[in-house]
Amino acid sequence: MESHPHGSGPALQFTSGFNEVSRPAKTFLLRDICNTKPLPQRTPVAIRPPSPKAGPHQEPVFRRTPSCEPEPKPIMRRRAKSLSSSTDEHTCRNMQVRFVDSLGLELEDVKFFKASDDPLVPVHVITRLLASSELASRKKLELSLPYFQPSFPDNMSAESGFFKRLCQQRVCLEQMFYSELGIIGTVQVLNLAYEKEVTVRYSYTDWKSSAESKASWLSTVRRDGPDPESDVFRFHLPVPPFIMQPGAMLQFAICFRVRGSEYWDNYAGCNYKLTCQTYKLTVPIECEDSLVHFI
């Protein structure tokens, strides 16, 4: 150890013991090593409080997430007004309301009529309106009820010579029943084979157009002695609203198919005819109050 030439304190000098290569000596000052003087402290910086004035309004920022949902939008709130402006009234007038079912199908059906077209009002609706008006004016109530007037006997099987006609034609109309819900009739055919078919061909337009209704098996008629058996079939004819008008006519004939052959019953070539007629029914005064609920 040696003294520093400028009197700055003792110093340490290290030298290498190898003589082959000369290296410069390094000097370390003890005052630099043993200097225990504390570091200067920083003065604290005063934090300025926020300004009492609110800053400019900023719109909320929404970050889009990887989802299939639509991006949310901010809700705009407005102060309620006692009177709506003209623009709001115009918007409300243009709004439309749609009624749909669970499948999204329309529940309303709008039909436009021309000035020259009169809407068709069903007969039963007009009857109810007339009955209500007559009851309200305290008039004697009269109802016009339709019915079918046949051109042949209702019970053909009760007529003499029915079984003879059945053996000749193989098919004959047996009986008819009439109502507003439909026309029901029964037919007898000879039991010539197990496989057989009975159909009724009918027309509302004097045979300008026609349709067929298939009859269904009902029962079997067994006779004593050598008389053949016969099967009973039942058929149903629809009654559309226009056939309930006075003067409307329904015509029909019966066809029996068996073993590749056809047999017809058309009432001796005249066809079976049903004509719609009406009769008036006067309702007693004591029954008018109960009839209102019935209508």
Reported as a single tens digit per residue, the pLDDT across 258-272 is 999 999 999 999 999
Please write the tens of the pLDDT for every residue from 40-65.
Answer: 677 776 666 666 665 555 655 555 55
Q: Where are the beta strands (DSSP E) in 102-207?
A: 142-150, 171-179, 182-190, 197-203
Strand, helix or coil for residue 231: strand
**pLDDT given for residue 292 in this prediction:** 45
Does 160 map to a domain? yes
- DSSP states of 28-55: EEHHHHS--PPPPPPPPPPPPPPPSS--
CA distance 199 to 256: 7
Percentage of the chain with pLDDT > 70?
55
Facing residues of 254 across strands?
A: 200, 265
Does 84 map to a domain? no
Residue 289 above 90 pLDDT?
Answer: no
Facing residues of 280 across strands?
A: 144
Task: Give the largest CA-CA distance in the chain.
Answer: 167
**pLDDT given for residue 70 in this prediction:** 63
Distances (CA, A) of 77 to 57, 60, 85: 15, 15, 17
- Contact present, 253 and 264 (Cβ < 8 Å): yes
Does 258 map to a domain? yes
Percentage of the chain with pLDDT > 90?
32
Measured at the CA of 253, the angle between CA 251 and CA 257, to 5 degrees, comes to 155
Please write the tens of the pLDDT for every residue from 94-124.
Answer: 677 777 776 677 776 777 777 777 767 776 6
Supply the range of the domain harboring residue 246: 148-278
Q: Which residues contact 259 (CB under 8 A, 6 or more apart)?
A: 192, 193
Does 67 map to a domain? no
Q: Residue 290 phi/psi, 5° resolution?
A: -75, -25
176 vs 72: which has the higher pLDDT: 176
**pLDDT given for residue 293 in this prediction:** 44
Q: In degrees to the nearest 10, what's the CA dihedral of 116, 122, 124, 128?
A: -40
Distances (CA, A) of 199 to 155, 237, 255, 262, 275: 19, 11, 5, 11, 21
Max mean pLDDT among 10-14, 74-78, 224-228 falls in 224-228
Q: Is the pTM of this model over 0.85?
A: no
CA distance 63 to 134: 74
CA distance 53 to 234: 96
Give the β-pairing of 216-221 and 272-282: unpaired
Strand, helix or coil for residue 273: strand
Does 267 map to a domain? yes
143 vs 172: which has the higher pLDDT: 172
CA distance 62 to 70: 12
Does 235 map to a domain? yes
Q: Domain with 253 in it: what CATH number?
A: 2.60.40.2440
Domains in the chain, number: 1
**pLDDT given for residue 88 in this prediction:** 54
Does 131 map to a domain? no
Does 100 map to a domain? no
Would you mind telling me the total number of residues written for the chain in this entry?
A: 295
Max mean pLDDT among 121-125, 145-149, 188-192 falls in 188-192
**pLDDT given for residue 132 in this prediction:** 65
CA distance 156 to 187: 10
CA distance 215 to 232: 10
**pLDDT given for residue 200 in this prediction:** 97
Measured at the CA of 181, the angle between CA 180 and CA 187, to 5 degrees, comes to 100
31 vs 214: which has the higher pLDDT: 214
